[in-house]
């Protein structure tokens, strides 16, 4: 006999997209591209653009819990170069900087309006490498493909900060309704529907193989980000005296 009552909900097919506007906790991992950043801590961390002088962070996002746990999507953030604003600052960096600050606020539960010395210290990074492994609440979108030969893709719509109601709801493990970004959301995977399958009404004798062993596998637990328990500085700190660093670097 196979008791399926304690089985975890099935995961959405890997080829399907996370629904447009989904809220979830995600972990960001930086994929080094071999280009040095402005901080010694960021040696080899950046990726060069193939079409401009821009330097980027190549980031992988993994959903850490819920119906889409372990699903991944990817996104680049320009941190130098590219188009400049009227002050000569990279427009891409201005956008990325705002997103990175929001990630820290979301991860540490900081009110975005909190400009106390303690909050400012937590938002001070020794290098972009400090963001590797950060876990925060995100709203995920479906970005339509730019041309027919490409497929639609999941992207980070925006970082959900503690002043938004979805932040605490996601952290409590509640099911938060998606808020689509696109006017016409693309087809996306939905969490497994409740209720029994069609064959559940067939007498057991006609279904001797109904119990599938792989349905008993437990879901992978959400893991704490690597930096959450870090108590020592990374192996290659800057030679000059660095800022104290955000809270997660001090344990």
| pLDDT tens readout for residues 87-127 | 999 999 999 999 999 999 999 999 999 999 999 999 999 99
Instruction: Assess whether pLDDT exceeds 80 at residue 190.
Output: no
Span 159-185, average pLDDT: 91
Let me know: does 138 contact 159? Beta carbons within 8 Å: yes
Return the pLDDT at 148: 87
Give 216 or 154, the one with higher predicted confidence. 154
Return the pLDDT at 15: 62
Return the pLDDT at 68: 94
Return the pLDDT at 146: 86
Let me know: does 100 contact 131? Beta carbons within 8 Å: yes
In 3D, which of 206, 239, 250, 248 has the Cα closest to residue 40? Answer: 239
d(CA 72, CA 224): 17
Beta strand 135-143 with 55-63: parallel, antiparallel or unpaired?
A: unpaired
* Per-residue confidence band for 14, with pLDDT thresholds at 50, 70 and 90: low
The proportion of the chain whose per-residue pLDDT surpasses 70, expressed as a percent, equals 69
Structure confidence by residue, pLDDT tens digits, 41-96? 999 999 999 999 999 999 999 999 999 999 999 999 999 999 999 999 999 999 99
Alpha helices in 123-176 (DSSP H): 165-171
* Per-residue confidence band for 167, with pLDDT thresholds at 50, 70 and 90: very high
Return the pLDDT at 41: 94
What's the whole-model pTM score?
Answer: 0.71
Return the pLDDT at 232: 35
Tokens 């349905």 — which residue?
215
Helices (H) and strands (E) in the chain, counts: 3, 6
What secondary structure letter does DSSP report for 84? B
Taking the domains of the chain in order of start, what are their residue ranges?
Answer: 22-250
Backbone angles phi, psi at 91, to 5 degrees: -65, -40
Span 206-230, average pLDDT: 41
């Amino acid at each position: 006999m196979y008791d399926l009552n304690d089985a975890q909900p099935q995961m959405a097919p890997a080829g399907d997209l996370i629904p447009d506007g989904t809220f979830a906790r995600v972990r960001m991992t930086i994929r080094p591209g071999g280009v040095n950043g402005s901080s010694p801590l960021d040696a080899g961390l950046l990726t060069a653009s193939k079409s401009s002088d821009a330097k980027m962070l190549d980031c992988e996002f993994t959903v850490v819990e819920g119906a889409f746990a372990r699903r991944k999507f990817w996104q680049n953030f320009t941190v130098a170069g590219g188009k400049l604003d009227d002050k000569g600052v990279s427009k891409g960096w201005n956008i990325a900087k705002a997103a990175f600050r929001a990630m820290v606020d979301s991860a540490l539960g900081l009110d975005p309006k909190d400009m106390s010395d303690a909050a400012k210290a937590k938002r001070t990074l020794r290098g972009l490498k400090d963001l590797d492994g950060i876990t925060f609440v995100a709203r995920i979108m479906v970005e339509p493909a730019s041309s027919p030969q490409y497929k639609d893709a999941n992207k980070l719509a925006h970082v959900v900060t503690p002043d938004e109601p979805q932040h605490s709801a996601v952290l409590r493990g509640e099911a938060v309704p998606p808020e689509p970004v696109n006017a016409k959301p693309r087809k996306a995977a939905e969490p497994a529907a409740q209720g029994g399958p069609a064959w559940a009404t067939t007498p057991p004798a006609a279904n001797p193989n109904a119990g599938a062993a792989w349905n008993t596998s437990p879901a992978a637990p959400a893991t704490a980000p690597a930096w959450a328990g870090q108590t020592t500085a990374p192996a290659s700190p800057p030679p000059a005296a660095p800022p104290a660093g955000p809270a997660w670097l001090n344990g």
